[in-house]
Amino acid sequence: MTISIPYGRSWMTMTSPLYDRYLRAQKRRQRLIWLARLALLAGFLLLWEFAARWKWVDSMLTSKPSQLWTSFRELAMEGSLFHHLWITGQETLVGIAVSMAIGSLAAVLFWWSTFASKVLDPYMVVLNALPKVALGPIFFIWLGDHYSVYGMAVAISVIVTIIMIESGFKEISRTKLKLMESFGATKLQMLGMVLLPASVPHLIATLKVNVGLTLVGVIMGEFLSSKAGLGYLIIYGGQVFQMNLVMVSIALLALLSVALYGLVNLLERYARKKYHHEA
């Protein structure tokens, strides 16, 4: 428990011993969680390494961590690896931005006009169920080998974005909206003063889902048509039977995913602090 008491012209904050013990226990628990995560990763890498060394698995097919590090260092010295990583990262960021923009505008349109929502809802369901990989050849013909990657990324993530943001809008308390309407507020005022600020947690949750979906779309697009990027490296490594190249590319994809989720988490913390400060 935190207590603030007057001290001269300022305030002095005191905490109870029980609350201090609770905070220390939470910090110990958080450190234990991180240690368990690192131990799990280290155990997996060690098991993989020794399984390849002791011939439990064929290292030509599965590679091993020591070979991955050697391959990573060689490719990094050449400079091509970070070029492909940059291409995939750039395509993913653009895909996320475009998907969130289109999805947010469409969700606002559906909230603004219930008629449009009811008319287009069946099409949203069909497009969401449609296997997006089938659109790859169409995007390649329409957009070319470079922009088709962006088309695939947006196609995979935008429908889910629309559905999630629209669902978030529907969960907003109708009482607040009715109260503003009774005071003569327009829909634009209700949108800017109530709906969008209250939907920030839903937007962050949608962004988290969007990171994974967009990255999947980018890799699928690179599989089909790209001449650069981590997806291209994976296909190329499989064709020439260089499993080290495939595994290094997959490891970089994992690191890219962690970095993107980290950025979203930072954005979420900033949004929470700003929300609580304004509240």
Burial class (CB in 10 A: 0-12, 13-18, 19+), 231: buried
Please write the tens of the pLDDT for every residue from 99-111: 999 988 988 888 8
Please write the tens of the pLDDT for every residue from 38-65: 888 888 888 888 887 887 877 677 777 7
Indicate if 38 and 161 belong to the same structural domain.
no
Indicate if 145 and 218 belong to the same structural domain.
yes
- Buried/exposed code over 157-191 (b: 16+ C-beta within 10 A; e: otherwise): bbbbbbbbbbebbeebeeeebeebeeeebeeeebb
Indicate if 22 and 84 belong to the same structural domain.
no
Indicate if 112 and 166 belong to the same structural domain.
yes
Q: Reduced to 3 states, what is the DSSP secondary structure of residue 8?
A: coil
Indicate if 127 and 187 belong to the same structural domain.
yes
Please write the tens of the pLDDT for every residue from 132-166: 788 878 888 888 777 888 888 888 888 888 888 88
How far apart (Å, rounded) are the C-alpha atoms in residues 107 and 163?
A: 7
Domain count, the chain: 2
Range of the domain at 186: 64-278
Indicate if 186 and 137 belong to the same structural domain.
yes
| Start-to-end C-alpha separation, the chain | 22
Last residue of a domain, one of 35, 57, 79: 57
Last residue of a domain, one of 11, 29, 57: 57
Name residue, tokens 């439990």.
Answer: 56
Indicate if 42 and 155 belong to the same structural domain.
no
How far apart (Å, rounded) are the C-alpha atoms in residues 66 and 247?
A: 12
Indicate if 26 and 86 belong to the same structural domain.
no
pTM of structure: 0.76
Indicate if 44 and 125 belong to the same structural domain.
no
